[in-house]
Amino acid sequence: PTSKMKLLSLLFVGQLGMTLSFVGPTLCSTRPRTASLFMSSMEAAVGQPTELPDSLEDAAEIAALSTAKFAEASGPLARCRVDFDTSAGDETFTLLKSSTEFMQNYVSALSNAMIPGIMEQRQAEIMAVSQATTELKALADIEEDSELSKEDEEKKQHLEEIVANGGKDPTKQWEGPVARIYFPDEGSAALARRDWTAIVPPCVQYSSCGGVQTQDMTKDELIFFFCPKASESDYVEELLQKSEETASNLKITVFVNPNLVDMGVTGFGMAGRLLRERLIDNLVNTYYLRTLQWGALTRRWPQSFSVWQEDADANGGYRLIASLDRLPSNPEVEDIYDIENGNKDAPSQGFGILDAIADFANGMMKL
């Protein structure tokens, strides 16, 4: 099996649903002792390699925890980016479609971590499902011996609805802080309103870049731009500025798989450079995962970007071959692989000016 297949199997194995224990109540604490311990742990993590995730859910939780830590360290109105691409060059599906399940898990995990009241509500929903499941089992035992009464039939239907809704009460509307996702277009946002409601927390609202903006931004505390494209770059900048001016409690804005510079739209000249300077260059990768034909490249903030190669003899099927303090370009990643496997001699003074030019061009194309 290929490296891509092996890593994809890791990313999709495991129980569905979110692990609620990954973040504690002191995550956003401002007590001096907690802040001191927090900074110490961040300093210790700098320069350390980043391990590969065990599953897609694990990747989403790691990304959420890294983002939450970055938001705490940066203060209000923080901005960052998360890149998740397990296609390894396969263009069968769009990046938005192939990263949808990761996005659902990531948004859920970060909302649990940073939106007050969401974790407690989710725990209550899990308890409701557990209790309903127990009562349904008891009714099933009764039904084996005799017919259920009309009252028990109604109770059974009600309990089945609780389980089907994941413990959520569809009659209650969330009135607290909002985690808002901006999709590239209204069609994608409409599909999410239909399909994501039972998966993500009730604090999540769905909007689109472009068109008439009628949403109330005042309660927004988390903002996600999901796969924004170059054709929406003007709208993205406008929405970002308006959000940061309007949402008084906005904690962080996250760009997930952004593609904001494109030769056919913004060009690679002055317009592309100015856009990079205004919006892109200062975005910190709080999480990065990209599969390769022979391995993977990953990073969790504040640790290093780490290059892993498939190795059947290594623990977990991969071995670490490089760790860098910045995101390497595609040519650099291939050079790392070739040097590691004896296909190329290591450069005497870094990768040189040609790879620096390739790095620039590749970065422009990637964004």
CB 44 within 8 A of CB 88: no
pLDDT of residue 14: 38
Phi and psi based region of residue 350 (left: phi greater than 0; alpha: psi -120 to 50; beta: remaining): left
Q: What is the pLDDT of residues 103-152, one digit of tens each?
A: 999 999 999 999 999 888 888 889 999 999 999 999 888 888 888 888 88
Q: What is the pLDDT of residues 158-205, one digit of tens each?
A: 899 888 888 887 778 888 999 999 999 999 999 999 999 888 999 999
CB 288 within 8 A of CB 298: yes
Angstrom distance (rounded) from CA 249 to CA 177: 9
Q: What is the pLDDT of residues 219-248, one digit of tens each?
A: 999 999 999 988 888 889 899 999 999 999
pLDDT of residue 84: 96
Angstrom distance (rounded) from CA 207 to CA 226: 10
Alpha-carbon Rg for the chain in angstroms? 23
Closest CA to 155 of 172, 173, 140, 168: 140
pLDDT of residue 27: 40
CB 336 within 8 A of CB 355: no
Q: What is the pLDDT of residues 69-90, one digit of tens each?
A: 999 999 999 999 999 999 877 7
pLDDT band at 316 (very low <50, low <70, confident <90, very high): confident
pLDDT of residue 15: 34
268 in helix, strand or coil? coil
List b or e across 77-111, with b for residues whose CB sees 16 or more CB atoms inside 10 angstroms: ebbbbbbbbbbbeeeeeebbebbbbbbbbbbbbbb
Residue 265 per-residue DSSP state: T
pLDDT band at 343 (very low <50, low <70, confident <90, very high): confident
